[in-house]
C-alpha cells in the first residue's frame, strides 16, 4: 500500500490529459502547478490538488479533489480549453494514471466534474475558466 501523501491527483490527471486525450487540448499543454506568463498567453491547463483527500474506510481507495485552471488570452479560448478538459475527464472510469516523479501507476476508478465551468477575467492579459473534479483513486500502486 502507498503512503497516501505520495499520491497526487494533479500528476495523475496531468498524465491522463497528456497521454490519453487530445494532444492539442491547449497550445501550451498541461502543467502541474502554476503556469508561467508565457504559457498563459498561449493557452494552458494548470492542474492542482484542491482540498484534503478522503480515505475510503472499506477499501484501498480515496477521493481527491482536483482543480483545472484553463488560462488563455481570450474568454473564448479559455472556454474552448475548459470544454475539452470537461469532455475528456468527466465520467472517465477505470483509467491508469502514472506519477512520473515516483514512477508508479495507480488506477483512477472514477472522475466526475463537480463544479464549473466558471469563467472570469484573471488579469489584463488573461481569462480563466475553472473546473473542479472529484477523483476516486486506488491507493495500491499497479506496478
The whole domain housing 86 covers: 4-138
Whats the size of the chain, residue-wise?
143
Specify the number of domains making up the chain: 1
| Residues 96-126: tens digit of each pLDDT | 999 988 889 999 999 998 887 787 776 778 8
pTM: 0.88
Residue 52 lies in a domain: yes
Report the chain's mean pLDDT, rounded to a whole number.
88
Compute the distance between CA of residue 83 and CA of residue 73 in angstroms, rounded to an integer. Answer: 16
b/e map of 41-53 (b: 16 or more CB within 10 Å)? bbbbbbbbbbeeb
Residue 143 lies in a domain: no
Residue 105 lies in a domain: yes
CATH of the domain at 95: 3.30.2000.30
Amino acid at each position: 500500500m502507498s503512503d497516501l501523501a505520495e499520491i497526487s491527483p494533479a500528476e495523475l490527471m496531468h498524465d491522463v490529459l497528456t497521454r490519453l486525450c487530445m494532444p492539442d487540448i491547449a497550445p501550451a499543454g498541461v502543467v502541474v502547478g502554476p503556469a508561467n506568463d508565457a504559457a498563459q498567453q498561449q493557452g494552458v491547463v494548470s492542474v492542482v490538488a484542491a482540498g484534503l483527500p478522503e480515505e475510503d474506510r472499506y477499501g484501498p481507495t480515496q477521493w481527491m479533489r482536483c482543480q483545472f485552471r484553463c488560462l488563455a488570452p481570450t474568454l473564448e479560448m479559455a472556454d474552448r480549453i475548459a470544454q475539452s478538459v470537461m469532455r475528456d475527464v468527466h465520467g472517465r472510469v477505470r483509467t491508469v494514471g502514472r506519477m512520473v516523479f515516483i514512477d508508479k501507476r495507480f488506477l483512477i476508478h472514477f472522475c466526475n466534474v463537480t463544479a464549473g465551468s466558471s469563467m472570469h477575467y484573471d488579469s489584463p492579459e488573461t481569462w480563466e475558466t475553472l473546473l473542479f473534479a472529484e477523483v476516486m483513486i486506488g491507493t495500491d500502486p499497479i506496478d
